[in-house]
Amino acid sequence: MTEYKKSEHWQNPDHKLFPYQVGFTGPPHDFDAAPSDFLRIAPRSVGVHGRMMHAPVYAHELTQRVDNFALIEEFVHCMANNGCDAVGQVGSNWVHAQGTDANDIREFTARVSETYETPFHMAGMTLVDAAHALGAEKIALNSVYYWPDWRDGLTRFLRSADLDVQFAGNFVDLGMLPNQQDCNDRHWCFPESFAVESVIRTAEAAPDAEVIVINGMPNFRREDDGIAERALHHIEAMEAAVGKPVIASDTTLYWALFKEIGVAPTSAPGALLSTL
């Protein structure tokens, strides 16, 4: 295989549309909110590019993540060719789908970043880095819509990073939905009230947890206009309700990317983003 060399074209700032260029990808067959949300809290000097992984047949199963893992590296390669300064992968259960642990994923992201000369972050790994950055040892996992095998896989992954997961439960475990099928049928979108209430119930299940962690890409649909919003838009209300930091797969990924490019967001809700 020929050694990759990022084009010298991008070393000249006059060739870039934005001083700081960030790329995102998400699971196949999902219109992802990350590029829009990241851009909403970024200064005008930051540009965002999105590229979906292409898998013609896809049903969000862990085995399909294993089969399509190479698409992640393809994404980084493509974004490097297009002059991105940092790139992020949305979808936190990709880090554990192959039975991998935190060391495995840290080695993978480091290799890909070095190969394509472009810093690369996976959402599931940023959960670990953010929890450690906040000094947390004991955490509670609000696993929102995750199927039981996704919930258990991510719990194992977080524990492999020396995090004491004192509780892990999805909306069914938390008593907010009657069964997993009802949860699945909602296609990642839930009532606005679920945002804060699920965090409160998670905190109550693990009172000694220092940080509440939210995985995945849950969307909470606003009552007034029907717009579905990620955890980013509810972090301050969540933290106020439980009196401790709350981190989510979207906010930790944005935190890692802003740190990587050395730029502070124009809006930094919550304990984690406010450190920038």
- Give me the sheet containing 211-214, strands edge to edge: 164-169, 138-142, 211-214, 246-248
Residues 6+ apart with CB under 8 A from 187: none
- Residue 195: per-residue pLDDT: 98
Taking only the tens place, the pLDDT of each residue in 23-64 is 998 777 778 899 999 999 999 999 999 887 766 665 566 565
**Residue 97's pLDDT band (cuts 50, 70, 90):** confident
Do the domains at 8-123+251-268 and 127-248 have one common CATH topology? yes
More confident residue, 224 or 27: 224
In this prediction, residues 232-237 reach a mean pLDDT of 98
3-state secondary structure 155-215: HHHHHHCCCEEEEEECCCCCCCCCCHHHHHHCCCEEECHHHHHHHHHHHHHCCCCCEEEEC
218 and 231 Cβ atoms separated by less than 8 Å = yes
pLDDT of residue 18: 97
Q: Residues for the chain: how many in total?
A: 276
pLDDT surpasses 80 at 22: yes
The confidence score (pLDDT) of residue 66 equals 62
User: How many whole angstroms separate alpha carbon 261 and alpha carbon 22?
Assistant: 9
Average pLDDT, the chain: 93
Of 59-63, 175-179, 183-187, which range is least confident? 59-63
- Gap between the Cα atoms of 88 and 37, Å rounded: 13
Which class for 167: exposed (0-12), middle (13-18), buried (19 or more C-beta within 10 A)?
A: buried
pLDDT (average), residues 14-25? 96
pLDDT value of residue 69: 73
- Does the pTM surpass 0.75? The reply is yes
For the stretch 122-163, pLDDT in tens is 999 999 999 999 999 999 999 999 999 999 999 999 999 999
Q: What share of the chain in percent tops pLDDT 70?
A: 94
What value does the mean pLDDT take over residues 241-261?
98
Mean pLDDT of 171-183: 97
**How confident is residue 190, by pLDDT bands cut at 50, 70 and 90?**
very high
Does residue 65 have a pLDDT over 60?
no
Domain spanning 8-123+251-268 has what CATH number? 3.40.50.12500
To the question of domain 127-248 being in CATH 3.40.50.12500, the answer is yes
The answer to whether the CB of 226 falls within 8 A of the CB of 268 is no
Please give the average per-residue pLDDT across 78-93, as a whole number: 95
d(CA 275, CA 255) in angstroms, rounded, equals 9
Domain ranges of the chain: 8-123+251-268, 127-248
Q: Which residue has the higher pLDDT, 165 or 187?
A: 165
Beta bridge partners of 89: 25, 122
Reply yes or no on whether the pLDDT at 239 is more than 70: yes
Q: What's the confidence (pLDDT) of residue 51? A: 81
Residues 6 or more apart from 204 whose CB is under 8 A from it?
A: none
